[in-house]
């Protein structure tokens, strides 16, 4: 989401590296916290690591994560730019996320965020298919931002949105 926000001009690109760094560190701390809390059972439960369903290969998983992230990014960017009221925005984005997790979760775990997948994976030692959870969300986020930018240019004749908005997704 953060990369998409930078690509769409919603946040200043100079903030991208610090935001990404803090998200990755946060994901790592979350995984380590789970490991500390769960102790010896940590390796058997994989600490909430995102996993592909047995019927999904890495290529299909990457495509699914790409499409899911693209849809989520587009909904977030479009909603925050075109819907007034934080409650309405939250309801729309939350509903979209619920639907995407319901549809995609059984297939890939519906990560949509590399930092969310990395922390539990490292803490549990379950590193299988991590590339899926980096390539899919990053490519989906960038594609969603490009689609949003295209729609915005067509709607407003080149507007770039609010550079000070922030998404901590």
> How confident is residue 164, by pLDDT bands cut at 50, 70 and 90?
very low
**Each residue's pLDDT tens digit, 19-30:** 999 999 999 999
Residue 143 has pLDDT above 80, yes or no: yes
In percent, how much of the chain has pLDDT > 70? 91
Closest-CA residue to 113 (of 135, 144, 96): 135
Task: Tell me the CB-side half-sphere exposure of residue 100, using CA atoms within 13 A.
Answer: 22
R_g of the chain computed on alpha carbons = 17
Structure-token pair, residue 57? 């290969």
* Distance from C-alpha of 76 to C-alpha of 24, rounded to nearest angstrom: 21
pTM given for the model: 0.85
Q: Give residue limits of the domains in the chain.
A: 2-156
CATH architecture, range 2-156 = Up-down Bundle (1.20)
At 162 the three-state DSSP class reads coil
**Selection from 90, 99, 109 nearest residue 169 by Cα:** 90
Burial class (CB in 10 A: 0-12, 13-18, 19+), 67: middle
List the beta strands (DSSP E) in 8-161. none
Quote the tokens at residue 3.
Answer: 């990369």
Q: Give residue-wise pLDDT tens across range 51-107.
A: 999 999 999 999 999 999 999 999 999 999 999 999 999 999 999 999 999 999 999
Q: Return the pLDDT at 166.
A: 47
What is the pLDDT of the chain when averaged over all its residues? Answer: 89
């Amino acid at each position: 989401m953060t990369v998409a926000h930078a690509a769409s001009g919603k946040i200043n690109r100079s903030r991208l590296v610090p935001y990404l760094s803090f998200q990755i560190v946060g994901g790592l701390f979350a995984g380590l916290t789970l490991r500390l809390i769960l102790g010896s059972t940590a390796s058997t439960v994989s600490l909430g690591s995102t996993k592909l369903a047995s019927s999904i290969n890495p290529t299909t998983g990457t495509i699914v994560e790409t499409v899911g992230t693209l849809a989520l990014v587009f909904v977030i960017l479009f909603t925050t730019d075109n819907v007034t009221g934080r409650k309405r925005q939250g309801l729309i984005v939350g509903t979209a996320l619920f639907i995407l997790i319901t549809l995609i979760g059984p297939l890939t775990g519906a990560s949509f965020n590399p930092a969310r997948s990395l922390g539990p994976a490292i803490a549990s030692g379950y590193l299988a298919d991590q590339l899926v959870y980096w390539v899919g969300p990053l490519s989906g986020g960038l594609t969603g931002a490009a689609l949003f930018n295209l729609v915005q240019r067509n709607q407003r004749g080149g507007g770039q949105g609010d550079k000070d908005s922030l998404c901590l997704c």
